[in-house]
Structure 1
Amino acid sequence: MVMRSLCLRWLPNFITIGRLVLTPAAIDMIVGDHWRAAFAIFVLAGASDALDGWLAKTFDLRTELGAVLDPVADKALIVSIYATLAIKGVLPAWLALLVISRDVMIVGAVFVSWLLARPMDLRPLPVSKATTAAQLLLAAIVLAGEAFAISLHGVDSLLMAAVAALTVASASVYLWRWVKLMGPDDVGA
């Protein structure tokens, strides 16, 4: 009974680890031009993100590991997919660089704040959630377009603009919070 309870408690983390494992598989499928398999794996990874979050919140299965692992898995999936799609010429390089730069900036800020014993609040902001959702949606639509030879009739361009705007907005908010956190202490105030 205890083992079953422990497995249930860790189920969201196991699902998140599964998403980490799916990331290289999706990249391999893109590199090999197996677009339908890449799309299927990406959709499965995206569904796993929704499922692990729902399980953790609904059944109060949140863990410290999950709080760290989930955003790492999201970033690994998004950064890998955007970089690979840009290398394949399916997404513009500037957009991939923007998405990747934002995530590198956030990880760097978290690391520096941790080194300086001023840890950042890691709860995702609404703009960050919207950014991640838009980035995942764009990747799914681009992969579906490649997988099923669907003409996107400008939808992809509109989504690229939305992803770029949200990515810049999210990066700006995180940068502002980090600069504020790293600012001088109010000593003697």
Structure 2
Amino acid sequence: MDQKRQQKPAPLVQQIQEVRENTKIVRDKVRSSLSKLTPYENIYNLPNFLTVSRLIAAPVTAYLLVHDHFKAALALFAYAGITDLVDGWLARRWKLQTVAGSVIDPMADKALMIILTVTLAVKGALPLYLATLILGRDASLAIAAVYYRYASLPAPKTFFRYWDFSLPSAEVHPTTVSKYNTFLQLMLIGSTLTLPVITSGAYGPAVLQWAGLHSGLLHQAMMYFQWLVAATTTWSGLSYSYLKGAVTILGENEDLKAKQGARGRAIIGVTFGSVVVAAVYLAFTVDEKKEAIGDEDLQQTWAT
């Protein structure tokens, strides 16, 4: 009898063991759930604020340009260029880089390029083939970005979570040629905005004459610069179709990430490849015809 009593655990001890086991199970479940939670980022910082201000500056610059306020448009464009450098430096200096910033920053650059490219093309300051390349590249990358965002967004994939950029899903890493191309595009837009400022007014023409320059020579230099930008734009757009490191998809399923990356690059290759073909056609038809028949009225209006 005494042996049986010693082998049989007391009810209180048994209850304590059951509570410990249940506690361990609950603790493991909580830890597992916490490890699967999607982290949130603090997106409210000065670099992101400057980036958003550049987004606002884009349509305002176009408005000033349409109404021939060239000096004000050039000044606001210069502000956008300066803040583009400052916000990146601040983010690196104070370690304020965010996935949202990596998305919004190129978005602000592209918004400025798209709006001003359309405006300058309408006013005849940019040839149609070049505007098609610039806009087509951005459109193809935007289509791929929509796919990347949806495919890599952690579940549940809802409309509000899709637009919540504090939920990281994919990181964009601009290629080397893309960085140079962005700089050259901004230089082209800036030069095009500067042209009517330095060729008009009380002192502009006199300074050009003193330097041995004239509007025809400046127009020819701009044409060569446009060819350079067209070449780098083509190279930049196609680089996103074959460089695997341009976009990093977040997640743990490597096979799924590889498939999503391949699909995104294929989207860019097909869409932008079609844009390049269309731009070549426009260059040798519409734009060449304008040059052949001497249709320089808009360009002369812009440069004088």
TM-score band by shorter chain is 0.7 to 0.9
Q: Does 1:142 align with 2:142?
A: no
Residue 131 (structure 1) shift: 0.8
Question: Which of these two proteins has the greater Rg computed from alpha carbons?
Answer: 2
Where do 1:164-183 residues align within 5 Å?
A: 164-177=230-243, 181-182=262-263
Q: Does 1:68 align with 2:118?
A: no
Root mean square deviation of aligned Cα: 2.3
2:77 to 12, 28, 42: 42
* Residues 1:117 and 1:11: Cα distance change in structure 2 (over 3 Å): closer
Deviations 1:54-90 (A, max 9, x none): 1111221212221111011011000111110000111
**Identity among equivalent pairs (%):** 37
1:92 to 101, 109, 127: 127
Q: Does 1:161 align with 2:245?
A: no
Residue 120 (structure 1) shift: 6.1
Write the distance in 1 (CA, Å) between the matches of 2:89 and 2:193: 25
Partner of 1:82: 117
* Kept in 2: contact 1:120–1:181 (CA 8 A): no
* Residues 1:120 and 1:160: Cα distance change in structure 2 (over 3 Å): farther
Where do 1:45-60 residues align within 5 Å?
A: 45-60=80-95
Q: Which SS does the other structure have where 1:175 is aligned? A: coil
Where do 1:8-23 residues align within 5 Å?
A: 10-23=45-58
Partner of 2:164: none
Give the TM-score, by structure 1 length.
0.85
Residue 177 (structure 1) shift: 4.0
Residue 121 (structure 1) shift: 4.8
Partner of 1:31: 66
* Kept in 2: contact 1:138–1:160 (CA 8 A): yes
Q: Which SS does the other structure have where 1:72 is aligned? A: helix
* Kept in 2: contact 1:55–1:61 (CA 8 A): yes
Write the distance in 1 (CA, Å) between the matches of 2:227 and 2:172: 26
Deviations 1:156-189 (A, max 9, x none): 1121111100000011111234797229xxxxxx
Paired residue type of 2:125: V
Aligned length: 177
Residue 51 (structure 1) shift: 0.9
Give the TM-score, by structure 2 length.
0.54
Paired residue type of 2:181: T
* Kept in 1: contact 2:152–2:170 (CA 8 A): no
* Residues 1:74 and 1:30: Cα distance change in structure 2 (over 3 Å): same
Where do 1:98-113 residues align within 5 Å?
A: 98-113=133-148
Deviations 1:24-79 (A, max 9, x none): 11000110011111111111111111111111112212122211110110110001
Q: Does 1:123 align with 2:173?
A: yes
Paired residue type of 1:173: S
* Kept in 2: contact 1:36–1:148 (CA 8 A): no
